[in-house]
Structure 1
Amino acid sequence: MMRNPDTVHPPTIRAVQPADRDAWGELFAAYRAFYRLDADPAVVETVWEWLGDPAHELQGLVAVRDGIPIGIAHWRRFARPSRGATAIFLDDLFTSPDARGAGVGSALIARLQRIAADEGLAEVRWITSESNVDAQRLYERIASRAPFHTYIAPPSAG
């Protein structure tokens, strides 16, 4: 595993491209497996279609080193009514296990921060699992923890 970001060149961060399909799919499937979600090729295909649809809100970035995608970030703009502003929500962030500790996650987030600054957006916001302590170590260095709890309610017909 790479553990010293000073000994490797930083990854290139760019928008997902059609040629990234296979490598992106492997990274996204690994992300889903990390969160113990069932392997589901239909989900992977749906998200890929969203990323390729300019009318869809979801956008994607890849971190590339030596021509190989080693990290992904899925994001979207969202309204912040309480602030009268628009922000970026980072839905998914994943780095290949053999590239962790080399600045990939922080480079992806930094790119989103630049997009937010360039567009005059209010912030970049994301959530992570309370058990994902490795990611939290990074996040604590580069961001402030929001004082909110997240709740999930299922759809209801009545």
Structure 2
Amino acid sequence: MIRTATPADVPVIHAMVRELAEYEKALDEARATEEQLREALFGERPAAFAHIAETEDGEPVGFALWFLNFSTWRGVHGIYLEDLYVRPDRRGGGHGKALLTELARICVERGYERLEWSVLDWNEPSIAFYRSLGALPQDEWTVFRLTDGALGALGAPTR
């Protein structure tokens, strides 16, 4: 079962974010707090949205956290999937596909023309899964990121 996350889900989403960061060998980079997630998802101006995958007895086993992007070429919004995670002992049960199906449904329903996400190059099981759904890698694009000192240096006020 897939459902829209509620504020009561923030602790489990936070825990799964940390589990995902550990799986991706980057736990030290996962600094978001529960309060930050609560504000981003349920604050006065939500910046992101989340869905929860549950077992039949209501146990949360995965989540998708996403936000809107915009394509100047298509002229409409799309969804950028920031995180998709299913707990290891629950993989293979259709939860990941159900989460992606829900996001695709939202895209179709709202007229969004893209559902995009990134995957680590070494994550072959996920890459194979995404390809099985018809997703195509965007090999001609390279992701760039500014953080920490480089971001501060570039964004520092000039005199």
User: Which TM class, normalised by the smaller chain length?
Assistant: 0.7 to 0.9
Structure 2: distance between partners of 1:113 and 1:151:
23
Q: In structure 2, what is the equivalent of residue 53 of structure 1?
A: 43
Gaps of 5+ in 1: 1-11
Q: Which moved more, 1:148-157 or 1:78-87?
A: 148-157
Q: In structure 1, what is the equivalent of residue 5 of structure 2?
A: 16
In the superposition, the TM-score normalised over structure 1's length comes to: 0.84
In the superposition, the TM-score normalised over structure 2's length comes to: 0.83
Gaps of 5+ in 2: none
State whether structure 2 residue 21 is matched by structure 1 residue 32.
Answer: yes
**Residue-by-residue CA offset, 1:45-90 (whole Å, 9 max, x unaligned):** 2223211225122111110112111001111111100221211111
What does residue range 4-153 of structure 1 map to in structure 2 within 5 Å? 12-39=1-28, 42-45=31-34, 46-53=36-43, 55-65=45-55, 66-142=57-133, 143-153=135-145
Identity rate, percent: 26
**Residue-by-residue CA offset, 1:13-52 (whole Å, 9 max, x unaligned):** 1111122233222211101111222357851322232112
Greater relative contact order (Cα 8 A, min sep 6): structure 1 or 2?
A: 1
Work out the number of aligned pairs and report it: 147
Q: In structure 2, what is the equivalent of residue 5 of structure 1?
A: none
Structure 2: distance between partners of 1:31 and 1:157:
30
